[in-house]
Amino acid sequence: MNVTRYVPLVVKQVCRHRVRTGLTVSGIAIAMFLFTTIQAMQRGVREATMETAADTTLVVYRKDRFCPLTSRLPRDYASRIGRIEGVVSVMPVKVVLSNCRTSLDVVIFRGVPKDDFLRDRHGAIEIVAGSLDDWRRRSDAALIGETLAKRRGLRPGMMFDAAGITTYVAGILRSDNPQDQNVAYAELEFVQLAARSGLGVVTQFNLRVADPSFLEPVAEQIDDMFRTAQEPTATFTEKAFVGRLAGDALELVSFARWLGLGCLVAMMALIANAIVLSVQGRIAEHAVLQTVGYTSRLIAALITAEAMLMALVGGGLGATAAVVVARVGSFALSVEGQSIPITAGVETLAGGMLMCAVLGVAAGLVPAVQASRRPIAECFRAV
């Protein structure tokens, strides 16, 4: 059977009642926009918190502290941590941010020793604009994450003022690490002075171990070493650290899954309602089609195709709009100094379109079967 020959008939039936079809498609687009946005948030959560077998990064934080503004550790801890077996590098980090509350527009400054940072991130970051030489040369220079740069409209050579710190934008960096996308990296001493915290105080230590098998024993040794110190520590893997601080945000995203499920149910109801109304208005036409040779199976397939077409058109519009908004807006959900990017791409769009096709078939299946099983004589009596 040549299926393509029936495509014009399906399109004609869908466009027959333009107002009803337009309202249905609009409702589907809105529901799919919400569903795709939720999917983008969930994808960002997975990227920020899902550990892999290759992870070798630990974060040493002040015990019983969450907001970076309250985590204060002596910088000289670094030398003691560096002597532990399995530790490859230790980098002190001073974190300053515009606020600790959950927000879509938090600016995060991270003060780092520049040479240590470049050695640690060698090959893991890409400078897409500006120059590393400018960053090295100027004490007030900052490397801006690509997401933050897009959201704030920043370009190399501009001055940037946020969280009480004024910096020169030396370059824009791109990285696969979600925590690099929404941050400004500057010289450690510069950030310490700007924050008036003292040169001997940092927020945390980021360290790398030689092998993933060292993660747990090294973390235990560090916390045991400083258990009785004035500033005790809590050490986590990087992904576990993000999940710990962003717990409330993660719960919010988890709850949003139910909203996404509600969007799918609403889409299915809209499609089914439109198809039922369409079928009821064409009972006699279906009888004529059966009279001229259309089989019951073919009529059911045509009705199901109508439902799938409306789902694909409306869902495609909504999913595309959500992806565009997420990419252009460069949004990131920031909480306690950690970033959860809202990322949407081709995979998100393809997944949304597949979901639309499945929902369209499911919504049109029952009306299609009912219409195909109705006897011809009963169809003519219903006119």
How many angstroms separate the CA atoms of 152 and 330, rounded? 9
How many angstroms separate the CA atoms of 298 and 372, rounded? 8
Secondary structure letter of residue 110 according to DSSP: E
pLDDT computed for residue 159 by the predictor: 92
pLDDT computed for residue 112 by the predictor: 93
How many angstroms separate the CA atoms of 195 and 96, rounded? 7
Count of beta carbons in the 10 Å neighbourhood of residue 36: 28
> 290 or 318: whose pLDDT is higher?
318
pLDDT computed for residue 158 by the predictor: 92
pLDDT computed for residue 195 by the predictor: 81
pLDDT averaged over every residue in the chain: 83
How many angstroms separate the CA atoms of 333 and 179, rounded? 11
pLDDT computed for residue 187 by the predictor: 94
Confidence of residue 51 (pLDDT cuts 50, 70, 90): low
The tens digit of pLDDT for each residue in 235-282 reads 988 777 776 666 666 677 777 778 888 888 888 888 888 888 877 777
